[in-house]
Structure 1
Amino acid sequence: MASQLVRPRNGKVIAGVCAALAARFGISKTLVRLLFVIFGLVGAGEIAYIILWIVIPKSY
């Protein structure tokens, strides 16, 4: 499991938020993306994604 939460430069679809969360917690990127879609349909997934996009630094 990765020790830092950083957005990757490769393997991302939009901003790398789901890829960063999946790498940090050792779970599938597809599962994280699916959870964000479900959360977006029933809650505020888009707002959470944008906030995480701003907060999580990009890898160098």
Structure 2
Amino acid sequence: MRVTVDEDRCCGAGQCVLLAPEVFDQRDEDGIVVLLDAEPAPSLHAIVREAAEVCPGAAIAVSEDG
């Protein structure tokens, strides 16, 4: 799995951070997503997919190609 984020689409809702704090964080100054791990461990794949699905700005993209 490969994860990418589009900071321009992020609205700072923080759902990704709540779901997968090992993979996502937020900038202190504006709440925009920070990607901590672009290739998360297999044990995190399901929760990362969920974070991408619930992102209100559709700022998270997941590629299963690795």
Bigger share in strand = 2
Is TM-score (shorter-chain normalized) higher than 0.5?
Answer: no
| Interval containing the TM-score (normalised by the shorter chain) | 0.3 to 0.5
The structure, 1 or 2, with the larger RCO (C-alpha pairs under 8 Å, 6+ apart) is 2
